[in-house]
Amino acid sequence: MNSTCIFTEEGYCIALEVIRRMIGTISVLSSIFILGLIFLFRRYEFTSQRLIMYLVTATLFDALAYAVGGSVIRTSVLCTIDGFYLSLADWGVVVWVCNITVNLFWNVVVLRPTNRYFEVFYICSGIVVPIFFGLFPFIHNSYGPAGQWCWILGETTTGQILRFLTWYIPIWLIIPGLFIVFLVIIIKLSWEVRRWDPYNPASDRYRDLIRKEIKPLILYPLVFLLLNVFPSINRIQNSIASDNPIFTLYILHSFSSSLLGLGCTFIFVINRETLKDLKWTNFKQTLLTRFKPRGKVVEFDASCEKQVNEHSVEVNKTSLVQQETTEGPMC
């Protein structure tokens, strides 16, 4: 029997690993698909779309941890690296979901547009916070085999304390906080929509803000919150009764935690602007425009001027149009 299996039936652990790897692989491909569309349609030119790009990039790295890492890693060094990488990836997703929620709160409740300083702050937090929580367990060298996968060792009291300090307590504070902020955003949006004056220019600006900055972002934190319900319940059960794991909760946990990439893809694709861009005629035109080979830039040839002058045609050398042709300059 696999010594890392936390259940008496090894088939349970095999099923968990298959689910985790399968959904993780789908999420990896989904994240790559979204990033490809963002670059293809140049969506990165808009702040809201760049925030989505950052979140999907974090989701891609997180999905890689679920698709590649796990119980197949036996050596302590590799398992330590895998556990550290998983902490970085998980916290990267959490931070970017928080950044998007803060950005929505700033735009909807405070009614201020996001400037470049905010974006710099978001990027810095997306790097510093995961590194801080990822490095913390190295204080006691606590990364290693943790049941079915590599994470913080849970056999010792120190390991349990580090689990709570670096994940359980922060995430259980963040998730209710996100729910509260998200509820405030929804209430504020609903109230503003009801009081819109169709003839007020401010209403038009608010509609434009909702269409460009708020609508593309508002579902991402909600999906993250929903997908963390079962993992949170399972982690609470683990902390209370670690010797009595519940297979159903582990199934739901494995399925939910690996699904964010696919969930982000669904949200991105159902957006009205994306659906319009994905219509075949628009999509084909975009492909042709983005990947059309550039023509050869032809330099001015003095012989052309000489030949034209011989036919008594006044030529202004600076007004000649450069021709895109592979056969050389035409006189």
Task: State mean pLDDT over 141-153.
Answer: 81
Q: Considering the entire predicted model, what is its pTM?
A: 0.79
47-68 helix and 116-135 helix, angle to the nearest 10 degrees: 20
Rounded CA separation 19/221 (Å) = 24
Give percent above pLDDT 70 in the chain: 79
Strand partners, 217: none
The residue type found at 47 is T
Q: How far apart are the first and last CA of the chain?
A: 82
Work out the pLDDT band at 182, boundaries 50, 70, 90: confident
Asked whether residue 322 carries a pLDDT value surpassing 60, the answer given is no
In 3-state terms, what secondary structure has residue 114?
A: coil
The residue type found at 81 is I
Rounded CA separation 277/256 (Å) = 29
Asked whether residue 62 carries a pLDDT value surpassing 80, the answer given is yes
The H-or-E segment that residue 42 falls in is: none
| Domain annotation for the chain: domains and CATH numbers | 10-288 (1.20.1070.10), 299-331 (no CATH)
Task: State mean pLDDT over 169-191.
Answer: 87
DSSP string, 64-94: HHHHH-STT--SHHHHHHHHHHHHHHHHHHH
H-type alpha helices, the chain? 10-40, 47-68, 76-108, 116-135, 157-163, 169-194, 201-209, 219-227, 229-240, 247-257, 260-270, 272-277, 280-291, 302-310
Give me the pLDDT at residue 91, please: 95
Rounded CA separation 219/263 (Å) = 10
